[in-house]
Amino acid sequence: MLAKFTVAALVLGFQLAEAAPVYFPRTVTSLDQSQIAEAQPRDDTATRAFTAAPIKTSDGQCLTVDKLGGDARENLIPITAAACDGSAGQQWDVITNGKHANQPGFANFVSTLTNGCMNFDDRRAPGNQVLLFSCGGRADGGGDVVNSQLFTFANGAGAAPLPLVPQSGNNASCFAVKNGALDVSACDPTKPAADQLFTIGASGKAAAPDSASASASATASATATTSAKASAKASKKGSKASATASDSASSSASATASTSVAAKANNAQVTPAPSSTTASATATTPDAVSRAGGVLNPSAAAEANPKDNTATRAFTGAAVKTSDGKCLSIDPAAGDFRENLIPVTIADCDGSDGQKFDVITKGVHQDAQGQALIVSSETNGCLNFDPRRAAGDQVILFSCGGRADGGGAVTNSQQFAFTGGNGPLPLTPNNAAGTCLVNNGGKLDSAPCDKSDAQNFTFA
């Protein structure tokens, strides 16, 4: 009797599981901002049919994402349907041409909040196949174009209800909401069911058509960006020339004013409207960068790496020298579009801006006794040790405070033991006991501390 009951219970359990797929939450308590910066860069070159628009179901709910619903890189985020509230998690961009969408008649649906792409992966378990994932299909952000993120989208579509048909579904799959989450179901895209129809909300910003006024506006915007960038660089150089261990009130006010002007001038670039070919041709060529984004975004860099004018500095614009007399060196173009993720190299000392560092013992991002931040005088980024990154790429410059957007407070991955003086002393990160920074083939890297001269540095 017991055996029969057990078998019956198991059969019932399997039937229930098949009838109602279980959604496994991947909620994380914290995010890895350095990895997010690589995995989820915004495509500022893209043509957008809609920007920050809600996507509504047939019953008037909005597709919604939660940044903490996925993994530490903001991948694998489920998409739910919820009452529309205008929040950032309910805003979407529709990209018809860009780095990850290059086929006529198809578009990426991208979360405005995370920059992740709506993705259909039929290799995953049923009920867990529709997710936000790094555009291009690679978790680290290195992907190009993938058909699991391309959806049928004709020019001018969106105002009227339309099905979300992934190219990878072979024209036989449509998205629909099941049990409160966006899922997939069989369909004929020419005759979709009511629950397979979605509307891109009227509150979204549709792209304006090209015109002479749009061209002039885009040109003016590009000019403002170039001027702001030049102003910011001039301000940086001026503040470096007059900086002391305790920044003066006048230099602080000047730097604040310059930053404010640059930020205002660049705000128009945060969500750029599509511009005409003429505007693009007359704009100054942007600075190329090696990592995510491809080109420098001055407004994003200004926000991510502000100078802490309140800080107490033990050194300003100092060289950090190895035991054999070489200097730590950085190249702002070696990082991403926000001047994050910049590797630190070892080079012959030449007195260039890329070889100048501030040592901050107290400030917005440093509050621990016996510790200090080592900050690039050129970019304002902090020396950062992240053992979670790939070997050989764990010592980088990153936004002080540890958040890619500059919103962080204090993180021990940027604190190094320091009690004063020029050294020699080892650079030991506060987040990794027994670890010292070392020259590894011309690149600053990490190794177990061994008290050797090779692990000692001096400030000069």
Could you tell me the pTM of the whole model?
Answer: 0.46
pLDDT at 28: 63
CB-CB neighbours of 112 under 10 Å: 20
Q: What is the pLDDT of residue 226?
A: 35
Letter string b/e over residues 141-160, b meaning 16 or more CB atoms within 10 A of that residue's CB: bebebbebbbbbbeeebbee
pLDDT value at residue 392: 92
Q: How far apart are CA 117 and CA 200, in angstroms?
A: 16
Q: What's the pLDDT at 158? A: 65
Residue 192, preceding peptide bond in cis (omega within 30° of 0): no
Within 13 Å and on the Cβ side, how many CA atoms surround 32? 17
Q: Which domains does the chain have, with CATH numbers?
A: 21-206 (2.80.10.50), 281-459 (2.80.10.50)
Asked if 339 contacts 400 with a C-beta cutoff of 8 angstroms, the reply is no
Q: Mean pLDDT by 10-residue block, N- to C-terminus, for the chain (460 residues)?
A: 40 36 50 88 94 94 94 92 94 96 96 96 88 91 92 79 94 94 94 94 44 30 34 35 28 30 30 32 58 79 90 96 96 91 96 96 96 97 93 94 89 95 95 95 96 95
Say what the pLDDT of residue 116 is.
97
- Written in H, E and C, the secondary structure of the chain is CHHHHHHHHHHHHHHHHHHCCCCCCCCCCCCCHHHHHHHCCCCCCCEEEEEEECEEECCCCEEECCHHHCCCCCCCEECEEECCCCCHHHCEEEEEEECCECCCCEEEEEECCCCCEEEECCCCCCCCCEEEECCCCCCCCCCCCCHHHCEECCCCCCCCCECCCEHHHCCCEEEEEECCEEEEEECCCCCCCHHHCEEECCCCEECCCCCHHHHHHHHHHHHHHHHHHHHHHHHHHHHHHHCCCECCHHHHHHHHHHHHHHHHHHHCCCCCCCCCHHHHHHCCCCCECCCCCCECCHHHHHHHCCCCCCCEEEEEEECEEECCCCEEECCHHHCCCCCCCEECEEECCCCCHHHCEEEEEEECCECCCCEEEEEECCCCCEEEECCCCCCCCCEEEECCCCCCCCCCCCCHHHCEECCCCCCCEECCECCCCCEEEEECCCEEEEEECCCCHHHEEEEC
pLDDT tens track for 129-145: 999 999 998 888 988 99
**Could you tell me if 448 and 434 are in contact, meaning their C-beta atoms sit under 8 angstroms apart?**
yes
